[in-house]
Amino acid sequence: MREIPVQRAEQFYRPPPRLASDAWDHVPPAERVWRWYEHQAQRRLTVPSGMLLGKQVFARINHGRWVADCTCGSAQIVTPADPRFACPECGYGWVQVVFPKDPAAAEKAVTELVPAERNWWQAADTSWDRPPQPDEATRPQRQPRPGHPEGSAKLDLTLPDVPLPELPVPGLPDRKGV
Ligand SMILES: [Zn+2]
């Protein structure tokens, strides 16, 4: 089968067809999203200067692309060749993008899957879209709430004896009448 590479920023953010294919080759890979976004928005943008110290964002593979999420809810394609992130939507950044030590190994781990199923996260990443991990799956589950269908059997065994309301016994006079 033909190999379909995991996309990085420099392959994803390419100049529009009316420009030469190498028109953005001089732009650092992490800044190409800004050139690309300018074409989408049809307005000029000012790339932030300086880094936000101590701020990081995890890179993960999502649908066959290296992706990092912004605090504003946007996301962009990133690259280990220039592990920085600044968001053209809200202006957040620059922050350091945390890649695994061997990005090519992570790409290889998903290579057999079709692009839409290529998802991969770093061990410390707690991204919103990460499935539960094995250690979380074996953690004791919360007890079902009383009244919940799954909790009914347990409920019957654990409920204290509650006196039922007294019903009139056939053949005996109603208590109220005594
Ligand atoms: Zn943002």
Higher-pLDDT residue of 7, 127: 7
Domain limits for position 49: 1-122
Higher-pLDDT residue of 144, 52: 52
Structural domain includes residue 132? no
Structural domain includes residue 146? no
In angstroms, what is the span from residue 50 Cα to ligand 1's centroid?
16
Mean pLDDT computed over 110-136: 85
User: How many domains does one find in the chain?
Assistant: 1
In angstroms, what is the span from residue 76 Cα to ligand 1's centroid?
9
In angstroms, what is the span from residue 134 Cα to ligand 1's centroid?
31
pLDDT of residue 164: 56
AA letter at 71: T
- pLDDT, tens only, 46-83: 999 999 999 999 999 999 999 999 999 999 999 999 99
Instruction: Give the end-to-end CA distance of the chain in Å, rounded to a whole number.
Output: 91
User: Could you tell me if 144 and 150 are in contact, meaning their C-beta atoms sit under 8 angstroms apart?
Assistant: yes
Structural domain includes residue 75? yes
Confidence bin at 101 (pLDDT 50/70/90) = very high
Residues with CB under 5 A from ligand 1 (ion): 70, 72, 74, 87, 89-90, 92
Residue 136 pLDDT exceeds 60: yes
Structural domain includes residue 134? no
Structural domain includes residue 165? no
- CA pair distance 84, 136, nearest whole angstrom: 31
In angstroms, what is the span from residue 69 Cα to ligand 1's centroid?
8
